Chain A
């Protein structure tokens, strides 16, 4: 591998673009393939599959033994609400490999003092999400309990195809939320993707335990999505 190729791979990863590195295990040559780039033949099929499943693999194509290493964008976690749960969730999610961002227009909550070492946006989700759009490699967690902060972000997350969308609140709270999202024009099928009440059912009681339940549910959604496994949505808690 040469440094120019490695730099291109890292640049793509920083820009949140999916890429495959194809290495010829016979002669050591390697090349970069971008998502949606036209590649024909057996290699093309294997490359599309790698982008679809996120699984790296070896493949025989045109008499060559090739290794396809898929680099999907780093999963991003956007938390709406700089609340107590978020104070625990942010460092845990960072350790688990997520790029974490917290958005909350209430500056008393969204203070650097309460959230050291986290990207913190003391502004409305409407503003921040238009500058930093959500994508399929993003998870959105809405935990403010305040419809005027949470609802826009939830709808944006469903439209962007976020791999995980979760919202804090009881079943009753969620039923009211569903009505509001329908009124905003969200599709019923999409609304059904929202994990609510949020988190795996592990009997979490404290804010930190709820953060564990949420993070576990996010990881499950991330890792089981390509399998089409119905468990991907998880058991809501």
Chain B
């Protein structure tokens, strides 16, 4: 095990994104860029998504990942980065909001 990579290759989203891309998959990287109030994952946290909707990592405690995956597939298709915002103030809060009461902004970009 002497030369094993230091990072957790099984769980580290950025390592997984690199591996996926090298395997020829289309990949998007979602990043928490701002948080207000109580947010479950800190700024800088990543969720990585492939075109089939497989994902690794997290941007919340599991509250909004489904919505981010859906948006990410669009981003993979058209290449246009997107800023998403989630919070209890959203009309869709009851569907994809944050039950903790915080707000987060998530930047989704395609890995080119």
**Mask for B29-52, Cβ within 8 A of A = 1, else 0?**
101011000000011100000000
A64-90 Cβ-contact flags toward B at 8 Å (1 or 0): 000101100010100000000000000
User: B33 — which chain A residues lie within 8 A by C-beta?
Assistant: 25, 56, 58, 67
A48 contacts B by Cβ under 8 Å? no
Which of B3-11, B55-63, B85-93 touches A? B3-11
B112 touches A14 (CB 8 A): no
Q: A10-B15, A13-B7, A25-B33 are in contact. Are A70 and B44 (CB under 8 A)?
A: yes
Among A1-9, A189-197, A224-232, the stretch in contact with B: A1-9
Contact B83 A74 (CB under 8 A): no
Question: Is B14 positioned at the interface, with any CB of A under 8 Å from its CB?
Answer: yes
Size range of the chain B interface in the assembly: 20 to 34
Q: Bound complex: CA of A2 vs CA of B4, how far in Å? A: 26
A74 touches B6 (CB 8 A): yes
Residues from chain B with Cβ under 8 Å of A44 in the complex: none
| Chain A residues in 8 Å Cβ range of B7 | 10, 13-14, 74, 99
3 tightest CB-CB pairs across the interface, nearest first?
A: A56-B44, A28-B81, A56-B43
Given contacts A2-B111, A23-B31, 7 further A-B contacts (CB under 8 A): A3-B21, A6-B14, A10-B15, A28-B81, A56-B43, A67-B31, A69-B31
